[in-house]
Structure 1
């Protein structure tokens, strides 16, 4: 039996993960926390094998929580489940001690595979991140020929949807309503897009998207 602790400040995310595990005889939700500090307090009393951890947590964020887990509970494996897809975030949490990283838009089968892989001590990176990082590595390995146009970054389907709505002039709140999600999630997508495209602000992002044919 793989005992799991969920750490996410959105109850709907915890409910969704719990629903995904229904019927999985080898997986059990042993604890739930809405921030990193509460997670550590629960782990002092409840034994778990794997922690599913969001990075953006109140009181104690995911990065510090991972460091504390490594210090006090080195036997617990950490799988980060986040909306943040930039390689900087992935690198930071893996260097801090997390064993896996998955985006919150992964399929049910992939998250189940991720949990079991991390519980077995194997590193895991979700498919979308793996493809994106391979794309980044291939760009670094290829020398751009004179006059060759720079290819646009690889955006996820949801990031592309958000980008199009930004380009159409919708506010963060309006985009959140259209996509049936929270303002915070849309802001995370916006930040991911800005970092992937390496622009400074939303206005520059729209100009970039138009010139690259993303809009």
Structure 2
């Protein structure tokens, strides 16, 4: 496995551990085999070209290094070979919560179409239906994602004004989530501000919230 492939494989392993389907409640402890099955499900490499034993050795080495770096936690063993594992907040930040779109950078990925689609969903959202669907477990997920987003903003390379504005809005969201009847229109409005949607993780969070109303 080349250094380039190794880097891609590391991102794939951490990405698989960070992946959280909408219908799951929280990240769960997972064994090595389960993680590898998930990674290979998304790979384009034909099954016959995958060297199973060699892949396991590389995966164990990468995951052990990630454990030492605080990106994942182990349970039951100090090696990924025998441990159950779960990604940490720091690991989530490294995989998919730290991307920032600089509005002054001509090379940034244009996600205006995504924002337009998101606004259409917001405009057609049933706030009553969302409130009914917002179980304590799902609110816990939203709080976890909001806290991770806050940390990502703090550690981003965005300018101070953008970081300050975005952080204040996310802090307000976290406080509103503690309310007995969370005001979802206000929460979505805070997150849908340009200073916050400049961070790609916000899209994931808003999609999750709006998805509860469906």
Superposition TM-score, scaled by structure 2 size:
0.29
Of structures 1 and 2, the one with the larger relative CO (CA 8 A, separation 6+) is 2
> When you count helix as a share of all residues, which structure comes out higher?
2
Superposition TM-score, scaled by structure 1 size:
0.28
